[in-house]
Structure 1
Amino acid sequence: MGDAITIHLIRHGKTQANTERKYIGHTDEPILPLQPVHIAVQPTIVYGSDLKRCQQTAACYFPQVPYEASADLRELDFGQFEMKTYEQLKDDPHYRKWLANPAQVTPPSGESFQALKERVGHAVQQIITGPGQYTFVVHGGVIRLLLAQFSQQPFEGLHAEHHLLYSCYWSHFSAWKEGERCTSISEVPIMVNDSM
């Protein structure tokens, strides 16, 4: 157990743009009110994006725990697609190409999938330096990217929902360091605390 590593991933609380099904990347929108919750992890530090929606979620879920913010853990920069919906974009040929192949097509004035992968990967490598438990409050795209990497499943087939705790476990730190698939992944609902 002493050499094991667990990485917990939590998506930020919903924002107005999320409820309107808009692409929200670097826009710094606050979250909608969150209920107090029971959560299955008790970290001593939480890592996450520097955007309000992640910092506010961490403050709600872990009010007494220090938060270490990094711009490298932000969502993809959607460029000209930012804060627009599928309905607004569906007739745009570049948008249709991007939807069909997000790994190879970059949103106009936005960020490539490869750039997202590199910056998130670099940030995570800087944070995870040994065995133990690590808790991240980040964005849907970042969680999908990390789950794809940790499970060696295709990014396109993965989802990252609000109010779920994703936990990825390796029995040996060296296995994570060498990029091996995680031993197990669990998804646990984050429950509203009825007693509060």
Structure 2
Amino acid sequence: MKIKIWMIRHGMTAGNRQQRYVGTTDELLCEEGRQQIILKRQLIKSYQNIQNVYVSPMLRCRETAEILFPAVSQITEAGFRECSFGEFEYRNYQELNGHPDYQAWIDSGGTIGFPGGEDQKAFCDRVQTAFEACIRDDVMPKARNWGQTYAGQNAAEKEFTTAMVVHGGTIMAILSKWAMPHQDYFYWQVKNGCGYLVCLDTDEWLAEKGSLSVIEKF
């Protein structure tokens, strides 16, 4: 069975507009971000067929999901939170430029830990563990039940589709492990309100050989 997943980065916040590192700061979308998501809703052609939407607990993700999928219940996944930027939280390049710890982070290619925050590996491990559990324990059982419900009702022409409204880093962590062909972490960066439509094969995931096929970037 095939499952399609819309992976969507939340809309713009005031911190995003000022190019700040927004991790644990829990802010709503700015007005520009709300309008951005309203326009994006028109581009997600099959949004009305979404069975469930999984969200980070942060307000910016929950608000984005509410705008995109107002009739779909939200399922909160704590492990989908953005990276903790520690002492760099809600600061931008202009404020951090010249800071030795910030320069060390840049020189590492963004892999070492933020002072008082997460490093790239710890963050990716957290997100990937949460994603794998979500697919195994919630998405696939729901897809199986859906398939049984529509058995004999032209289900072959339908697909189980779900959505994840999360953070840019969360998408990068997931796709850097499972998307094929493989690309590194920063390759998967997306702007606010953008993301990827991906597909997985449940038989592969049950056999612990799971991967994600990228259908499109939007």
Bin the TM-score by the shorter chain.
0.7 to 0.9
SS at the partner of 2:176?
Answer: helix
1:193 alignment partner in structure 2 = none
Residue 116 of structure 1: CA displacement?
1.2
Aligned length: 185
- How far apart, in 2, do the equivalents of 1:184 and 1:166 lie? 7
1:138 alignment partner in structure 2 = 166
- How far apart, in 2, do the equivalents of 1:118 and 1:10 lie? 20
Correspondence 1:57 to 2:64: yes
Residue 169 of structure 1: CA displacement?
1.7
Q: Between the two proteins, what is the percent identity of the paired residues?
A: 31
Q: How does 1:92-171 map to 2 (within 5 A)?
A: 92-101=99-108, 104-129=111-136, 130=140, 132-151=160-179, 152-170=182-200
Q: How does 1:175-186 map to 2 (within 5 A)?
A: 175-176=204-205, 178-186=208-216
Question: Which protein is richer in helix relative to its size?
Answer: 2
> Which of residues 4, 17, 21 is equivalent to 1:23?
21
- How far apart, in 2, do the equivalents of 1:149 and 1:123 lie? 13
Give the alignment's TM-score, normalised by structure 2.
0.78
- How far apart, in 1, do the equivalents of 2:107 and 2:211 lie? 27
More displaced 10-residue stretch of structure 1: 20-29 or 157-166: 157-166
**Cα distance change on mapping 1:111 and 1:179 into 2, 3 Å:** farther
Give the alignment's TM-score, normalised by structure 1.
0.86
- How far apart, in 2, do the equivalents of 1:133 and 1:100 lie? 40
- How far apart, in 1, do the equivalents of 2:215 and 2:177 lie? 12
SS at the partner of 2:212?
Answer: coil
- How far apart, in 2, do the equivalents of 1:97 and 1:110 lie? 14
- How far apart, in 2, do the equivalents of 1:174 and 1:117 lie? 24
More displaced 10-residue stretch of structure 1: 27-36 or 13-22: 27-36
More displaced 10-residue stretch of structure 1: 57-66 or 142-151: 142-151
Corresponding letter in the other structure for 2:129: H
SS at the partner of 2:25?
Answer: coil
CA contact (8 A) 1:141 1:160 kept: no
Bigger Cα Rg:
2
1:7 alignment partner in structure 2 = 5
1:173 alignment partner in structure 2 = 202
Residue 58 of structure 1: CA displacement?
0.4
Gaps of 5+ in 2: 144-159
